Amino acid sequence: MGLFETLAGKVLGGGKQQPNLVNELMGLLNSQQTGGISGLVEKLSGKGLGDIVNSWVGTGQNLPITPQQIQNGLGPDVIKQLASKLGINTDQATKQLSNILPKVVDKLTPDGQIPQGDLMAKGMDLLKGLMK
């Protein structure tokens, strides 16, 4: 397990799959093809989840998201792809995403703003800072 996965697991807590899920999620959030974190916010907002996702970006309390809302918001293809990469079924993937996605987005937007640039580097900096 790499440094990023180890730190992510410690910061976010949880089971064995979570660091791998965080790594896959960071890849998704850092991808120009998906529009990065702003693309994710737009996609989820377009599916009627704007209040929820905006709470993660904002500085207040994070609203929860259900596995079904994750499935509807991201779409079955994204969920299947993530589940396949992790070696888990889609139900497990949506359940884990519903727990971890709000935390990841919240940690990547500590000032209530969507960051510009390389999220992987920002994520590593953030995780290193939290471990001090």
* Model pLDDT, residue 126: 54
SS3 96: helix
The dihedral sign for the CA sequence 31, 35, 38, 41: negative
> Tokens 């884990």 identify what position?
96
* Model pLDDT, residue 31: 72
How many angstroms separate the CA atoms of 27 and 21, rounded? 10
User: Which CATH number characterizes residue 19's domain?
Assistant: 1.10.10.690
* Model pLDDT, residue 98: 93
* Model pLDDT, residue 111: 83
Number of independent structural domains in the chain: 1
**Cα separations in angstroms, 119 against 30, 69, 99, 130:** 5, 24, 20, 16
Tokens linked to 33? 């093809």
User: Could you tell me the residue range of the domain that residue 43 belongs to?
Assistant: 3-130
pTM: 0.73
At position 46, the amino acid (one-letter code) is G
* Model pLDDT, residue 18: 56
* Model pLDDT, residue 55: 96
Query: In a structure prediction context, what are the per-residue pLDDT tens digits for the chain, which is 132 residues long?
Result: 444 444 445 444 544 445 577 778 877 777 766 778 888 889 999 999 999 999 999 998 999 999 999 999 999 998 999 899 889 999 999 999 999 899 888 888 888 888 765 455 555 555 555 444
